[in-house]
Amino acid sequence: DSVFSHVVRAPEDPILGVTVAYNKDPSPLKLNLGVGAYRTEEGKPLVLNVVRKAEQQLVNDRSRVKEYLPIVGLAEFNKLSAKLILGADSPAIRENRVTTVQCLSGTGSLRVGAEFLARHYHQRTIYIPQPTWGNHPKVFTLAGLSVKSYRYYDPATRGLNFQGLLEDLGSAPAGAIVLLHACAHNPTGVDPTLQQWERIRQLMRSKGLLPFFDSAYQGFASGSLDSDAQSVRMFVADGGECFIAQSYAKNLGLYGERVGALSIVCKTADVAGRVESQVKLVIRPMYSNPPIHGASIVAAILRDRDLFNEWTFELKAMADRIISMRQKLFDALRARGTPGDWSHIIKQIGMFTFTGLNPQQVAFMTKDYHIYMTSDGRISMAGLSSKTVPHLADAIHAAVT
């Protein structure tokens, strides 16, 4: 008898499990709108041309070796990542008060930041938006933080519950950590306006709340790397402290390379140095040091003006294709006379549309139309193409009538 006979089968991950179910479906009509990964018009995964070029450079460079990186990762990658999110002219960078460490994509950056906070920050409560990416509560709880939520989405307007957000952050204990999606909020596609961000910033600073930005979609929301970083830059410009987890999974299509960065903006260079020394103590016993390949690709692109420009074009093309899918789906529902107001499809931002479909309607669409999505009605617009829009529109129409 196995010493593990008592182990019960765990449920599939609510997001990645959608793909597991999709893979088992033999229907030629099947459509996976579950996972947040970009697909071309042909429904294929995309490796950016600029990534292929950077990889070619790496392969051709015979001086490259496979030695371990330092605990904090590739120094040049870290410097360039901070510049990308904070802006090339950021005073915080100039004043050496930012410490950046290479981590395992966005998830790993969130986890390392949270582990550091659980050990060294006086207030171990983190407020996350309601709803948020399903992995957030698990990452923060396992890191040792206590998770609470703040109101964010209003189902009635399919927009931001700004009043509720201000009330909840206003009554959070002084010093509490607040998780903010830098742009393209997942799963709702609803972002605060710049004016609303400014109100949030004032409120948070007045109460000493600590911002922890999750930046998983820089460049994907608007097509512009700078526009999508505005929320973060607003909080850094006031001289206050903050945490930022960056992912290159979506904007460079480096999903499986697991490349990301954690930046901690501190008040002084001296504090930043001490903070970094402690972050290293978090990382060393967890995975020792990060992988070299993905970070080398990113550094090659960010350091070279031509490659960087080429990237911005490819990024804009991905963002534009997603935006055009929003319009196509909206038009298709309109053409069918589908009951309801579907304008949120074109108003929402980023990779996902939060359709407002309920779990029963989602289950119906999966069973009768072989369309796979998370049960909260979130669909990945990046998984859609001109060819598949009519099938999705038919399914939504049937689900709501």
Of the candidates 168, 191, 214, 228, the residue annotated as catalytic is 214
Among 211, 260, 290, 377, binds ligand PLP (CB under 6 A): 260
Two tokens at 352? 């996902």
Q: Which stretch binds ligand PLP (CB under 6 A): 23-31, 87-95, 104-112, 286-294?
A: 104-112
- At residue 217, the 3 state secondary structure works out as coil
Q: Which residues inside 165-194 make contact with ligand PLP, applying CB under 6 A?
A: 181, 186
Query: Would residue 168 show up in a list of annotated catalytic residues for this protein?
Result: no
Among 71, 143, 176, 216, binds ligand PLP (CB under 6 A): 216
Of the candidates 133, 228, 328, 342, the residue annotated as catalytic is 133
Distance of closest approach, residue 179 Cβ to ligand PLP, in angstroms: 9
Distance of closest approach, residue 311 Cβ to ligand PLP, in angstroms: 17
Of the candidates 53, 191, 228, 250, the residue annotated as catalytic is 250
Q: Which stretch binds ligand PLP (CB under 6 A): 21-29, 67-75, 99-107, 197-205?
A: 99-107
Two tokens at 21? 């179910």
Cα dihedral 380/381/387/392 (nearest 10): 60
Does an H or E element contain 20, and which? helix 16-24
* Residue 249 near ligand PLP by CB under 6 A: yes
Specify the DSSP class assigned to residue 14.
T
Two tokens at 66? 């496979």
Contact of 248 with 105, CB cutoff 8 Å: yes
Among 32, 100, 105, 263, binds ligand PLP (CB under 6 A): 105
Distance of closest approach, residue 181 Cβ to ligand PLP, in angstroms: 6
Number of H helices, E strands in the chain: 15, 13
Among 107, 361, 380, 388, binds ligand PLP (CB under 6 A): 107
Q: At what angle do helices 194-207 and 162-170 cross, to 10 degrees?
A: 10
Among 90, 99, 218, 247, binds ligand PLP (CB under 6 A): 247
Two tokens at 123? 């207030």
CA-to-CA dists, residue 220 to 38, 51, 54, 183, 211, angstroms: 10, 17, 21, 9, 22
Kindly tell me which of 369 and 372 has the beta carbon lying closer to ligand PLP: 372
Distance of closest approach, residue 379 Cβ to ligand PLP, in angstroms: 14
* Residue 98 near ligand PLP by CB under 6 A: no
Distance of closest approach, residue 217 Cβ to ligand PLP, in angstroms: 7
Contact code string over 123-162 relative to ligand PLP, x by CB under 6 A = ----------x-----------------------------
Among 36, 129, 219, 290, binds ligand PLP (CB under 6 A): 36
**Radius of gyration over every alpha carbon of the chain, rounded to an integer in angstroms:** 21
Mode of pairing for the β-strands spanning 98-104 and 378-380? unpaired
Q: Which stretch binds ligand PLP (CB under 6 A): 16-24, 101-109, 204-212, 270-278?
A: 101-109
* Residue 33 near ligand PLP by CB under 6 A: no
Q: Quote the CA–CA distance of 180 and 224 in Å, as a whole number.
A: 19
Kindly tell me which of 70 and 131 has the beta carbon lying closer to ligand PLP: 131
- At residue 352, the 3 state secondary structure works out as strand
Sign of CA pseudo-dihedral 130, 183, 14, 29? positive
Among 34, 87, 106, 377, binds ligand PLP (CB under 6 A): 106
Contact of 292 with 120, CB cutoff 8 Å: no
Specify the DSSP class assigned to residue 45.
B
Query: Would residue 89 show up in a list of annotated catalytic residues for this protein?
Result: no
* Residue 214 near ligand PLP by CB under 6 A: yes
Query: Would residue 214 show up in a list of annotated catalytic residues for this protein?
Result: yes
Mode of pairing for the β-strands spanning 378-380 and 352-354? antiparallel
Kindly tell me which of 214 and 241 has the beta carbon lying closer to ligand PLP: 214
Contact of 338 with 393, CB cutoff 8 Å: yes
Q: How many CB atoms lie within 10 A of CB 98?
A: 25
Distance of closest approach, residue 174 Cβ to ligand PLP, in angstroms: 26
Contact of 307 with 50, CB cutoff 8 Å: yes
* Residue 113 near ligand PLP by CB under 6 A: no
Residues that bind ligand PLP (CB under 6 A): 36, 105-107, 133, 181, 186, 214, 216, 247, 249, 255, 260
Q: Which residues are catalytic?
A: 133, 214, 250
